[in-house]
């Protein structure tokens, strides 16, 4: 039932409708599409690979049972990421973990790009480490809005829905966070 239509994969909304109607394979396809971003989302909050994996898995189970509350026409990605965020926050609170945030920035290379020289790679790694250290010094609401918007590559509207805040709040937090991040980066460069 989750076959492609005219060679195209089914849209999230259609897969969610099929899953709501009992098509477990359709829901499995949604899980597969969003497994990685769900893990990264949970990891940004829990700061633990094991906890993030558990939170993402539990969130997908909760989302499955909440499919009747998924509104047609709504984007599935921010809806499920909000469930993931809530589950990760609950786990973090219950476990009480306050580990350092060590977000990995995936540096995607196009297939036609040449590999960077060792010197360039080392400089890029140092710059990413400085950026991550500066990101860690932000308050959690600011760190999350930056991470969702730029590391998870959500739109402003998707970030708002995933974090359960208004789009205007995303813009203002993002503006403040980027200003603080810039100052932190300048400070670390001067040090």
How far is 66 from 61, CA to CA, in rounded Å? Answer: 9
CATH of the domain at 32: 1.10.1740.10
Domain count, the chain: 2
Q: Which residue has the higher pLDDT, 15 or 119?
A: 15
pLDDT band at 6 (very low <50, low <70, confident <90, very high): low
pLDDT at 104 over 70: no
How far is 157 from 151, CA to CA, in rounded Å? Answer: 15
Question: Do 147 and 52 contact (CB within 8 A), yes or no?
Answer: no
Domain identity same for 16 and 74: yes
Tell me, yes or no, whether 64 lies in a domain.
Answer: yes
How far is 29 from 112, CA to CA, in rounded Å? Answer: 29
Per-position DSSP letters for 139-177, written without gaps between them: -HHHHHHHIIIIIS---HHHHHHHHTS-HHHHHHHHHHH
Query: What integer is the mean pLDDT of 150-162?
Result: 86
Tell me, yes or no, whether 6 lies in a domain.
Answer: no
Tell me, yes or no, whether 54 lies in a domain.
Answer: yes
Tokens of 62: 């909760």
Domain identity same for 48 and 81: yes
Query: What integer is the mean pLDDT of 20-44?
Result: 93
Share the mean pLDDT of the chain: 80
What confidence score (pLDDT) does residue 41 get? 93
pLDDT band at 93 (very low <50, low <70, confident <90, very high): confident
pLDDT at 4 over 90: no
Domain identity same for 83 and 127: no
Tell me, yes or no, whether 2 lies in a domain.
Answer: no
Tell me, yes or no, whether 17 lies in a domain.
Answer: yes
Domain identity same for 81 and 133: no
Give the domain range for residue 150.
119-190
Residue 54, CA atoms < 13 Å, CB-side half-sphere: 12
Query: What integer is the mean pLDDT of 108-124?
Result: 55
Domain identity same for 26 and 84: yes
Among 182, 129, 178, 124, smallest CA distance to 149 is for 178
Tell me, yes or no, whether 102 lies in a domain.
Answer: no
pLDDT band at 96 (very low <50, low <70, confident <90, very high): very low
What confidence score (pLDDT) does residue 188 get? 76
Query: What integer is the mean pLDDT of 137-141?
Result: 88
What confidence score (pLDDT) does residue 82 get? 94
CATH of the domain at 150: 1.10.10.10
Q: Which of 14-18, 39-43, 152-156 has the lowest mean pLDDT?
A: 152-156
How far is 66 from 175, CA to CA, in rounded Å? Answer: 34
Tell me, yes or no, whether 109 lies in a domain.
Answer: no
Tell me, yes or no, whether 166 lies in a domain.
Answer: yes
pLDDT at 48 over 70: yes
Domain identity same for 63 and 135: no
Task: Report CA 151 to chain centroid distance, whole Å.
Answer: 7
Tokens of 65: 């049972």
Its pTM stands at: 0.56
């Amino acid at each position: 039932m989750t076959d492609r239509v005219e060679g195209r994969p089914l849209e999230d909304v259609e897969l969610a409708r099929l899953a709501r109607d009992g098509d477990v394979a359709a829901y499995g396809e949604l899980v597969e599409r969003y497994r990685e971003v769900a893990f990264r989302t949970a990891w940004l909050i829990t700061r633990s690979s094991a906890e993030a994996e558990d939170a993402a898995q539990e969130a997908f189970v909760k989302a499955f049972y909440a499919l009747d509350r998924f509104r047609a026409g709504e984007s599935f990605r921010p809806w499920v990421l909000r469930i993931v965020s809530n589950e990760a926050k609950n786990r973090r609170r219950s476990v009480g973990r306050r580990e350092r945030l060590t977000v990995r920035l995936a540096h995607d290379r196009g297939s036609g790009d040449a590999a960077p020289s060792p010197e360039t790679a080392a400089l890029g790694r140092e710059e990413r480490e400085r950026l991550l250290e500066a990101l860690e010094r932000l308050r959690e609401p600011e760190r999350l809005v930056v991470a969702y918007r730029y590391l998870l590559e959500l739109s402003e509207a998707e970030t708002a829905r995933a974090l359960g805040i208004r789009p205007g709040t995303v813009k203002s937090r993002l503006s403040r966070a980027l200003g603080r991040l810039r100052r932190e980066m300048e400070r670390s460069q001067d040090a």
